[in-house]
Structure 1
Amino acid sequence: MTDRHTQWQTAERLALTLTEGGMQRMAARTLAVFLFTDQETVTAGEIVERLDASAGAVSSAIKSLLSVGLIERLPAPGSRREHFRLRDDAWATLFTGQNTIIDAMLQVASEGVSVTGDDDPAHQRLAQMHAFYEFLRGEIPALLHRWQERNG
């Protein structure tokens, strides 16, 4: 078993990877707290302490994670603080949310195809891009269904 310091170093590396993948830095670090906590729920104040960050930055990160469906707010009877936890279906929810990105890529590729001629190399590249994202969008429902069957 590893000690908490080693776990937190791993959490920070995970946050760095998420940041390199496009997630905002504080949202990535906050997500790492949810992944590595040994508590059932976490408050914003606990995240502020863990990350030695400002309350405003953590609040924004929590809003971001809530908006994409990675975390959820829970009632905490007897507590004046809001409690949050990582959703059980966080990764499937996040992946489903990526459909907006796929749809945006499809739209821009379609626009590009329509403004380029058939003999233009850009037309061919954009048509291939469109075909790829169309294929990906069509595969997502079956992929998520198989995931739910496997983990349901």
Structure 2
Amino acid sequence: MNDRYERWQAAERLALTLIEGGLQRMAARTLAVFLFSDQDSVTAGEIANRLEASAGSVSGAIKSLATVGLIERLPSPGSRREHYRLRDDAWSTLFTSQNTVIQAMLQAAVAGIAATDEGDPARQRLAQMHAFYEFLLGELPALLHRWHQQAR
């Protein structure tokens, strides 16, 4: 067995683990490409070729991964293709206020609270959701600081 084959088998196993953890299939496989790539950046076309997937499904996966802060688009002077890479701080970004999913959850809770009446059980659940995300955002800076100290 060659090293390249073993590398991509490991990538597919990681993708399966991510899928089992709730990530959409194409986003999981695309993330595995970023994690296992020997290049600094990749294009959507390169990902599609590697995964033997459609451009549309790869585009959706890239958008999903960028939304949660795992990947970023790079400037690519002289190239007509968009280049992407895994962010250096990808994992900690997942848990910061930069994460648009956390912000969207907070906004959804606020909208839900505003749309429900005092004493309504739905409002109580939404208030708990809001309180959890507020608490999470309040605790994350200290947690991330400890992470950055350890990661040095």
Q: Which residue of the partner structure matches residue 146 of structure 1?
A: 146
Question: Cα distance, 1:36 vs. partner?
Answer: 0.1
Output the TM-score relative to the length of structure 2: 0.75
Q: What do residues 89-130 of structure 1 show as CA deviations (whole Å, max 9, x unaligned)?
A: 0000012236448858x889xx9xx556xxxxxx9xxxx999
Q: Do the aligned partners of 2:106 and 2:130 also contact (CA within 8 Å) in 1?
A: no
Once the two structures are TM-superposed, the CA of residue 151 in structure 1 deviates from its matched residue by: 2.7
Counterpart CA distance in 2 for 1:138 and 1:92 is 15
1:35 aligns to 2:35 (yes or no): yes
Q: 2:48 matched to 1:79?
A: no
Aligned residue number for residue 15 of structure 1: 15
Amino acid in the other structure paired with 1:51: L
Map of 1:50 onto structure 2:
50
Q: What code does the residue aligned with 1:43 have?
A: T
Letter in 2 for 1:21: G
- The TM-score with structure 1 as length reference comes to 0.75
Look at both structures and tell me which one has the larger radius of gyration over its CA atoms: 1
- Aligned position for 1:26: 26
Query: Number of residues paired by the alignment?
Result: 143
Gap regions ≥5 residues in structure 2? none
Contact 1:76–1:82 (8 Å) recurs in 2: yes
- Asked if 2 retains the 8 angstrom alpha-carbon contact of 1:102 and 1:137, the reply is no
**Unaligned ranges ≥5, structure 1:** 117-122
More deviation, 49-58/136-145: 136-145
Q: Report the counterpart of residue 94 of structure 2 in structure 1.
A: 94
The two structures, once aligned, show a CA RMSD in angstroms of 3.1
Distance 2:65 2:18 in 1: 13
Which residue identity does 1:67 align to in structure 2? Answer: T
Deviation of 1:47 after TM superposition, in Å, equals 0.3
Contact 2:102 2:133 in 1 (8 A): no
